[in-house]
Structure 1
Amino acid sequence: MAGPDTDPARPEAGSPAAHLEHLRVERRLAPASLRAYTAALQRLADCAAAEGLALPEVQTSALRRWAARLHGEGLAPRSLAQMLSAWRGYYRWLGQRHGLRANPADGLRAPKAPRLLPKALSVEEAVALAEHRVAEPADPRLEARDRCIVELLYGCGLRVAELCSLDVHAGPQAQGWIDRSAAEAHVLGKGRKRRSLPVGRAALDALVDWLAQRPALASPDQPALLLNRSGRRLSPSQVRSRLRERAARAGLPQPVHPHMLRHSYASHLLQSSGELRGVQELLGHASIATTQVYTRLDWQHLAKAYDAAHPRARRKPDDPA
């Protein structure tokens, strides 16, 4: 968004680039959130430039027209809602920092999107994946690491970014680590909020096995817990790739991604405990409404059990009386 003559180290006051710097430095948004804001503000800047408008001069009618056009071009309701939220945030910031009198994005709402249930594995599928073993692995080090990945994702409900940011030891620079003696994981989640959560026996056992293999890949000054074959910190994309491959080898009928194991963790905890507030704390959700979606998964599970087992559920609507 900066012009060719703009110093990238000092964005122009009131510009989208200055707002993004505010979000990065003062709000400390995560890289993925910053990328989403950047894309949304780039769209705003492009629309304004196409009509020869300076961003502070844009009116609500123009924003509504641009949003409608983008929706007509295929932008999904959920993506449109995120974009409008970014626009509102930008104009709110202009009002706070640069005296803009009214926020033209106030009151603009995206079409309501259907609420999709998160995809979760059944208990049997999750256990099959966790208990899968490669009889003669080509590289026992990577086999131990991949088992550890599955156990930590499903056993602790970690986000993939939280998993990849784990270090071997606690320290001033560590974003997360596992205290084996206390059987606790300490992670830095969304909004840079720290939380602690229990680590089960199966995950601890897999961790011990991996730590026995890790020195063969790690340099002495490498803090990361999970490493790739080159000895560098494992990336989220590498975790996704390894998990898809492992799920296929375990015979699961659908591709598995890291967040699916987090969903499975939450759903299975609710099925067995019913402790909605406790699951909210373990997942690190700011709002319990985010956690409540897993109660719908639990209801689906109960409904299927009813359909399969209850004698009054077996009769089809068109069966003769």
Structure 2
Amino acid sequence: MAADAAPDRTAAWLLHLATQRKLSAHTVSAYGRDIAELARLAEGTDWTAISVGDIRRFAAKLHASGQDGRTIARKLSAWRGFFDWLADRVPLATNPVESVRAPKRAKSLPKALSVDDAVQLVATPARKAAAAPTPAELCNTAMFELLYSSGLRVSELCSLDLHYVKAEAGRSASLSWLERDNGEVVVTGKGNKMRRVPVGAAAMAAIAAWLQVRGAPKDGSNALFLSERGSRIAPRVVQTRLKAHALATGAPMHVHPHMLRHSFASHVLQSSGDLRAVQEMLGHTSITSTQVYTALDFQHLAQVYDKAHPRAK
């Protein structure tokens, strides 16, 4: 039965999805568009005559037309389901889609703020200019400045102690701490790998302002950053506070702590070009993990070129 002459088959399959599989109307409609595209690509070929080679050719056409790997993978999944259903009703030697895989998806780059947006985010208080900062606001400013200044993971930020504490009876030694005299943080990251990261002057000033109002921890810890209850702050609280701060200060996108880490890496690399130094500061075991920021750096250069060069367009 020809593909374009078998609306009863496709309609029956879609009815099966709606009534037997109980899929939503939105999902069934999407499957309907996918199978209609298959019929268009098949150009009247009998459903039972469509081969693996045909499906690969169809997928290549979709890719050449600009569709990404994720979209093609979804369509192949729909086609595979259709032929599985069809095999129970008409003789099929094999499901022609079974061994076909979509083109590899392009690896998405981490999202980073521009230099101006990052500086404005961490330097702008989310309050009226005349109002005195609350302890929570001073804590927020210190945390956000430090995240951007030193490229810390949010878990590393939350694990920081005010200073190093030796192991004592009933108390463990500090694994991560601030060294105010040196302007550094000592961080124990993934794989228990310890590293030293510089802290910028703006972050050190924000931390000093926070320490003036920081009370004694109520959980017996030496935590640098405390919640409003006086215990070590949790990563989820930092995420929530940063999101609210970004909205209040007019950030151009949804901001999360890891975006400040990406921004740190991208901006240091743009200025220095020293990939190894960025690797050390981020605590990456392999430089392969750091190389993604070279793509971000080139992306920045390409944007500058497109805006500035008279023959770029």
TM-score (norm 2): 0.63
Q: Report how far residue 221 of structure 1 moved.
A: 3.4
Structure 1 segments, 4+ long, off by >6 Å, are none
Cα deviation code 1:183-226 (max 9, x no counterpart): 110011001100001111011001100111112x6339331111
Provide the residue aligned with 1:303 in structure 2. Answer: 302
TM-score (norm 1): 0.61
Q: Gaps (5+ residues) in structure 1?
A: 1-75, 77-109, 315-321
Asked if 1:128 corresponds to 2:120, the answer is yes
Change (3 A) 1:113 1:137: farther
Q: Report how far residue 277 of structure 1 moved.
A: 0.5
Query: One-letter code of the match for 1:219?
Result: K
2: CA distance, partners of 1:239 / 1:137: 22
Q: Gaps (5+ residues) in structure 2?
A: 1-72, 74-101, 168-172
Query: One-letter code of the match for 2:261?
Result: R
Query: One-letter code of the match for 1:131?
Result: A
Equivalent pairs: percent with the same residue?
Answer: 52
Change (3 A) 1:175 1:231: same
Q: Report how far residue 114 of structure 1 moved.
A: 2.8
2: CA distance, partners of 1:253 / 1:221: 39
2: CA distance, partners of 1:258 / 1:138: 25
Change (3 A) 1:220 1:136: farther
Cα deviation code 1:34-76 (max 9, x no counterpart): xxxxxxxxxxxxxxxxxxxxxxxxxxxxxxxxxxxxxxxxxx9
Provide the residue aligned with 1:166 in structure 2. Answer: 160
2: CA distance, partners of 1:221 / 1:111: 54
Cα deviation code 1:259-307 (max 9, x no counterpart): 0000000000000000000100010001111101001001110001000
Asked if 1:114 corresponds to 2:106, the answer is yes
Provide the residue aligned with 2:251 in structure 1. Answer: 252
2: CA distance, partners of 1:266 / 1:311: 30
Say what the alpha-carbon RMSD is for the aligned residues.
2.3
Provide the residue aligned with 1:178 in structure 2. Answer: 178
Cα deviation code 1:161-183 (max 9, x no counterpart): 00000011202321211100011
Q: Which has the larger radius of gyration?
A: 2
1: CA distance, partners of 2:227 / 2:219: 15
Query: One-letter code of the match for 1:208?
Result: A
1:132-281 counterparts in 2 under 5 A? Answer: 132-133=124-125, 134=127, 135=129, 140-171=134-165, 172=167, 173-215=173-215, 218-219=217-218, 221-281=220-280
Query: One-letter code of the match for 2:260?
Result: L
2: CA distance, partners of 1:193 / 1:179: 18
